[in-house]
């Protein structure tokens, strides 16, 4: 039986910055200063979180009013095992909370200690975060109580214009069975392609034939020599870069393949050209794993250049 497809953890993260505009900017500034502002729409209703546009008249909302830091739970649930990023790292209740003076409910966490203490209609108050920057997380959470707790001042007065929200996601990336065979062959120092049964093209790495929409099946060993079809010289430094600029990233059409792979060409950057013949420079076999990084780079072989006609279909 074939080995199971290869998989690997994939963690991605980005700190999203967002400009706030006039309504949310004032709302976030208020949170930093220990105040909660709601927006009043034409029908007189006060919305917390604030709306930027009146849902009935569609006019921009300009009037913001203070509401109280105490409120009433209108719906709730209970989380025994908090997920990464949630407001509390111990069991808590997510709840919809209508603050006193507001007509709509805000979603936030309630630090009730136990599920038995949660109920619809319960009175809660804001627990302010010790350090506040103008963000919904300036409300650390809510806690059961009818009495407001005043926040410590921040001593800041500049308006909040932006928020930053870090997003961290964790995945397991799983390759296809064909990709797994390709990667496992790489770990043995071999390059493997697969041929489309319809158009007879050979794909490296193997994939469903993008022209015919059918799986490729016939395995084709591929030589680690090839031809530069096109290339660029990287002169700009960037985070995570593996080589010092200037260096060459090229599309290399391996002998026997019908689709080029991207890789580095090491040599005189000014000398790399379309049609140049190159060969793989493998790392030490002891370091090989299931990755194309087993090939450190490609080097010029010194053979005569391949004629343009031999690779023009692959540009």
Residues that bind other proteins (CB under 8 A): 5, 10, 12, 16, 18, 20, 24, 27, 47-49, 51, 55, 74-79, 83-87, 94-96, 98, 104-109, 115, 118, 120, 135-137, 163, 165, 167, 169-177, 179, 207-215
Is there a contact between 65 and 37 (Cβ–Cβ < 8 Å)?
yes
CB of 49 to other proteins, least distance (A): 4
Between 59 and 169, CB nearer to other proteins: 169
> Residue 83 contacts by C-beta under 8 Å, 6 or more apart in sequence?
none
Between 196 and 295, CB nearer to other proteins: 196
Q: Give the Å distances, CA to CA, from 278 to 32, 183, 206, 272.
A: 60, 22, 22, 10
Looking at 118-207, list the stretches that DSSP marks H as alpha helix, in order from N- to C-terminal side. Answer: 177-186
Is there a contact between 186 and 293 (Cβ–Cβ < 8 Å)?
no
Between 95 and 265, CB nearer to other proteins: 95
Between 11 and 268, CB nearer to other proteins: 11
Q: Which tokens hold the place of 100?
A: 């006193």
CB of 132 to other proteins, least distance (A): 14
Report DSSP state, residue 33. T
Report DSSP state, residue 269. G
Q: Which H or E run contains 164? A: strand 162-174
CB of 135 to other proteins, least distance (A): 7
CB of 234 to other proteins, least distance (A): 20
Cα–Cα nearest to 216, from 232, 231, 199: 199
Report DSSP state, residue 186. H
Between 128 and 298, CB nearer to other proteins: 128
CB of 250 to other proteins, least distance (A): 22
CB of 173 to other proteins, least distance (A): 5
């Amino acid at each position: 039986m074939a080995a199971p497809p290869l998989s690997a953890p994939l963690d991605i993260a980005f700190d999203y910055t967002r400009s706030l505009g006039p309504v949310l900017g004032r709302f976030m500034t208020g949170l930093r200063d220990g105040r909660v502002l709601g927006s009043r729409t034409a029908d007189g209703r006060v919305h917390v979180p604030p709306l930027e546009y009146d849902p009935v008249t569609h006019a921009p909302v300009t009037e913001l009013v203070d509401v109280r830091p105490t409120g009433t739970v209108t719906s709730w649930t209970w989380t025994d095992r908090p997920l990464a990023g949630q407001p509390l790292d111990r069991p808590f209740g997510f709840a919809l909370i209508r603050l006193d003076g507001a007509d709509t409910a805000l979603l936030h966490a309630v630090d009730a200690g136990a599920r038995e203490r949660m109920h619809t209609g319960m009175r809660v108050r804001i627990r302010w975060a010790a350090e506040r920057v103008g963000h919904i997380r300036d409300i650390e959470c809510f806690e059961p109580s009818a009495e407001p707790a005043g926040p410590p001042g921040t001593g800041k007065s500049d308006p909040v214009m932006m928020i930053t929200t870090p997003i961290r996601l964790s995945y397991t990336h799983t390759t296809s069975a064909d990709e797994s065979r390709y990667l496992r062959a790489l770990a043995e120092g071999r390059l493997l392609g697969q041929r489309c049964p319809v158009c007879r093209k050979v794909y490296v790495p193997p994939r469903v034939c993008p022209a015919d929409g059918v799986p490729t099946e016939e395995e084709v060993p591929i030589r680690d020599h090839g031809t530069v079809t096109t290339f660029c010289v990287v002169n700009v430094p960037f985070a995570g870069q593996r080589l010092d600029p200037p260096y060459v990233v090229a599309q290399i059409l391996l002998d026997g393949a019908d689709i080029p792979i991207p890789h580095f060409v090491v040599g005189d950057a000014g000398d790399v050209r379309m049609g140049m013949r190159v060969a793989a420079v493998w790392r030490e076999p002891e370091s090989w794993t299931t990755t194309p990084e087993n090939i450190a780079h490609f080097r010029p072989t010194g053979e005569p250049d391949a004629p343009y006609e031999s690779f023009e279909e692959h540009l």
